[in-house]
Amino acid sequence: MKKITIILLILISPLISCRVQKINKQQKTEILIDSLNYTVLLPENWKPILDSHDLLSYSPKNLGDIFYKNIIRIYNSKMTKNKNTSLSEFVQENIKRLNNAIKVDSNNLTRENTKYGDTYTYNYENTWNFTHYINTIKYFRYNDDFYKFSYSSDKRFYEKYLTDTNFIFINLKFKKKEKALKKKSTKPNTVYN
């Protein structure tokens, strides 16, 4: 009887462990969403996820485990070094860093006026792990911070989800500073190990 109990525990423990990991990932995703100074409106067929680097990202629901083949990430770059850096200088520095890190097959940089004022769009293509990716990064400034709205997609999915991506960018809304500060101060500190 003791052997049967041990065998059952060995068989059940991975199931319990997977369930706990899934709950922790879901809780972490919710905490990250609450901590943002902006809100993201997603089309019904999209969901927030934690990517392989534990970064909050957004991907179509139907892609499941290959979410990385079509993903949106939003990065906030605080002005710490030089507060006089222009958006143009920030964009050029980021593009230079990116081009030094990966082999870019083709690229194009444009500038347009959006609800955030000057917005630079950097389109480039690259191959990674035998997959051809098309990438679009929109650089803009809001208050004193620079933002990068990044859409990366396997070439096969790029056009299919481009309208959704534009919808997400257009509907991005920033929270009022007072509300964001109040929200942060009412949340308990959470430590992840």
Does 24 score more than 80 pLDDT?
no
Does 49 score more than 70 pLDDT?
yes
pLDDT of residue 11: 60
pLDDT grade for 39, boundaries at 50, 70 and 90: confident
Task: Using the structure block, give the residue that is written with the tokens 């859409």.
Answer: 151
Distance CA 15, CA 24 (A): 14
Does 190 score more than 50 pLDDT?
no
pLDDT of residue 18: 45
Residue partners of 115: CB distance under 8 A and separation at least 6 = none
Residue with the larger pLDDT of the pair 55 and 113 = 113
What mean pLDDT is predicted for residues 98-117? 93
Residue with the larger pLDDT of the pair 62 and 68 = 62
Q: What is the pTM of this model?
A: 0.75
What mean pLDDT is predicted for residues 86-109? 92
pLDDT grade for 167, boundaries at 50, 70 and 90: very high
Letter for the amino acid at 114? T
- State how far the alpha carbon of 180 is from the alpha carbons of 23, 26, 158, 172, in Å: 25, 22, 33, 15
Map out the domains of the chain as residue ranges: 38-174
Residue with the larger pLDDT of the pair 39 and 3 = 39
Fold adopted by 38-174:
Protein Transport Mog1p; Chain A (3.40.1000)
181-190 in b/e burial notation, b at 16+ Cβ within 10 A? eeeeeeeeee
